Structure 1
Amino acid sequence: MRRRFFRARLMLTLSTLLGLSLGAAPATQAAPANEGTALPIAYHCDLAVDPLHKQVFISDYTTGSVLVADYQGRLVRTIENLPGVCDLELSADSRTLYAPLVLGDAISVIDTGTAKERARYATGAGTAPRHAALIGRTLFFGYGEQWEASIGSLALGASAPQVRLGLIPEGAFSGAPLLVSSPAAPGTLVAGDENTSPTQLSVYDVSAGSPVLRTTVNDPGGASNLSDLAITPDGKTLLTASGAPYHHPSFRLPALTEGHTYPSTSYPDAVAVSSRGDVAAGVQSIEPDPDVYLYRAGADSPYRTVSLAPATGSDAGYLRPHGLAWTPDGTRLFAISGHNDEENLRLVVIPAANEATVGQ
């Protein structure tokens, strides 16, 4: 069994956004990217796109802050005092951002319009909530460490939001489970074990409030070192990214039977799907392989590939785990890359005709 631990990164300064080039060539000939916007963070954990205010939120676990960038990738503000902030989950109307605080034993509730914390709800000493998924008016969160992990919930509809813990037996996951949900699959919560090899996926029915296990699959598609999960717009298919195998598989919900495979390369670490079905399959590649493969839904080959390496040097750029996010309309893709202990925000602009252009 292999376990993945957080790796701190150095503090950086902000540089000018230079944009991102896309390759229309075969996957082995992806065009190199420019530097993007350097992020003054130590360890990126997640990013979320707010279409209402046209901004992007980027969480930094180590410094306990969330950066806010505009749709051009320029940093505009920072939200501080969020110890161990990890997952970022937007409300359906994009007016509220929910952020589990691993080192704060709490869920932070942030107003996306003002970028200020509206409330903070304690989850209990030592719970260390890390991952989150919103279903209706309930925020489910994965919490705990070292085979004492479980799933909790925060009921948001009540006049006094209520926290519940221990919704699944401890030991079902080796650490706080990675969670994902979709408005198109109401009552369905998918959980994955990102700390074990091979990994485990489970599907729960939460329509009655408490998770009821529907399906569990160990070693789904030969997966190990799970990094990311995404659900297609119709709510029928789960996409995964894990260190192995060297492609991005899909699984039909809720049975988790294997479906279409999106070819990529070593080592898959991110996946995102737009509202129009475009799939971004990300890898921590070895140059000159591309870092991101862009697919139309169900396609066998990418319509574009992206390299995150600087224009000079090899093995110089890589995609961060859980480092991809689309705008809901599928016209912009944001990526977090790393290079020489630097982390950068990259922008890919994709017009409706799927003819990619340089980031604005």
Structure 2
Amino acid sequence: MHISRGTTLALATLTAGLLTTVIAAPVHAAPTQTATPLPLTTVGDVVSAGDRVFVSGGPNSTDVVVASATGAVVGTLSGLPGPSDLLLSADRQTLYVALPTANAIAAFDTGSLVESARYDTGAGECPSSLALTGRYLWFGYGCDQWGGNIGRIDLGRQPARVTTAMATTQDFYGAPLLAAASQNRSVLLAGQMSLSPASVYAYAIGAGGTLTLLRTNDWTVIGSNLRDIALDPTGTTLYTAAGAPYEVQAFPFADITTPSATFPTGAYPTAVEPSRDGTRIAAAADTSYLFVYRPDGTELTRFVLGGGELSQGALAWSPNGLRLYAVSYDWTGRNRATLHVLPVPAG
């Protein structure tokens, strides 16, 4: 069929118009930062299972609040004696809740929100910190001064077997902070809280779940009044947030003598959390600012939190790394916890 020049120009004009229409299609706005008040007057911890976020109320509470990925409150795990530290299984289908006032650790199905198990850690143990390496669920415990130690639950046994006093060469002032590496089941990190200077202890996990102390930090290098610790996914780098210095510090797990990187936060660092892939580090202090860094200390972005100061250790990444969850607490008289959902740009 013959097409005239005029028809050709008309088709070209129409095609250009269609292309222009496609190119000029509206672009969806980027997600915005949100803040949701929670029915909690104290804060324990926060974790993200992807579609659900869990926030515990701490030793003086009875609730774990359940929120959607965007921060909307959708439910509550209620009637719990002092829910404190929270931990998710590797497949994110089980939520472990430390219950120090009940000397126990509870396990919940993250889908049905039904309690699936409760592990008795022994009278007078007060389990307050959790970590997971394969079949072993570790807990830092201690109710009294210099009564702290590390316990282990062997989830591979039926019934599960609880063992305490795993740290045979170290006494802890109180329940130690624990951290594990998602891609390395052979290492465990423990932090000594409430002392100045602070200390961290690097352990090797041996056959049968034994603990061997590898090393501790040089004197005063961690700083004072340790408040949070973390390990990167491979277990090669550890992170500390202490009351001083006014920055989160990174150290090689193999040599805790000199920081390999620092992450300024302002006065009194209170939380540090590497992303699931280890490419970004969230760090915050007792201020309204929250920072995201690369592992080399380069700042990627920062957020300003309204509604009070970030609670100790209350940071969590979404599994895909697109959101950061932070829980702040308003000490000015409102006595209200707030869940912040922060969209993090790819870095």
TM-score, normalised relative to structure 2: 0.85
Q: For residues 220 and 136 of structure 2, what CA distance do their matches in structure 1 show?
A: 28
Following TM superposition, by how much is the alpha carbon of 1:110 offset from its aligned partner in structure 2, in angstroms?
Answer: 0.9
Contact preservation (8 Å) 1:149, 1:171: no
Q: What is the SS of the residue equivalent to 2:101?
A: coil
For 1:111, the aligned partner's letter is D
Paired AA for residue 235 in structure 2: G
Find the aligned partners of 2:42 and 2:254 in 1 and give their Cα distance: 33
Instruction: Indicate the residue corresponding to 2:205 in structure 1.
Output: 206
Within 5 A, what are the aligned runs for 1:33-182? 36-51=35-50, 54-61=51-58, 62-144=60-142, 145-169=144-168, 172-182=171-181
Separation in 2, partners of 1:218, 1:160: 41
Cα deviations across residues 257-277 of structure 1 (Å, max 9, x unaligned)?
321111221121011111241
**C-alpha deviation, 1:222, in angstroms:** 4.3
What SS is found at the alignment partner of 1:191? strand
Query: How much has 1:148 moved relative to structure 2?
Result: 1.0
**Partner amino acid, structure 2, of 1:137:** R
The CA RMSD over aligned residues, in Å, is: 1.8
**Cα distance in 1, alignment partners of residues 169 and 103 from structure 2:** 18
Q: Is the 8 A contact 2:222 2:240 kept in 1?
A: no
Higher helix share: 2
Q: Which amino acid aligns with 2:276?
A: S
Please list every run of 5 or more consecutive structure 2 residues that lacks an aligned counterpart in the other structure. 1-30
Larger Rg: 2
Q: In the TM superposition, what is the alpha-carbon distance from 1:343 to its structure 2 partner?
A: 1.2
Distance 2:37 2:141 in 1: 31
Deviation for aligned residue 1:170: 8.3
The Cα shift of 1:65 comes to: 1.6
Q: Give the structure-1-normalised TM-score.
A: 0.82
Spell out the pairing of 1:181-220 with structure 2 (5 A cutoff): 181-208=180-207, 209-217=209-217, 219-220=219-220
2:43–2:329: 8 Å Cα contact kept in structure 1? Answer: no
Report how far residue 206 of structure 1 moved.
1.5
Closer/same/farther in 2, CA of residues 222 and 350 from structure 1, 3 Å limit: closer
Aligned partner of residue 158 in structure 1, secondary structure: coil
Higher relative contact order (CA 8 A, sep 6+): 1
Structure 2 SS opposite 1:103: helix
Is contact 1:201-1:218 (8 Å) kept? no
**Structure 1 counterpart of 2:117, which letter?**
A
For residues 96 and 292 of structure 1, what CA distance do their matches in structure 2 show?
A: 28
Please name the residue that 2:269 is paired with: 268
Structure 2 residue matching 1:147: 3-state secondary structure = coil
C-alpha displacement of 1:171? 6.1
Aligned to 1:239: 239
Distance in 1 of aligned mates of 2:147 and 2:291 = 36
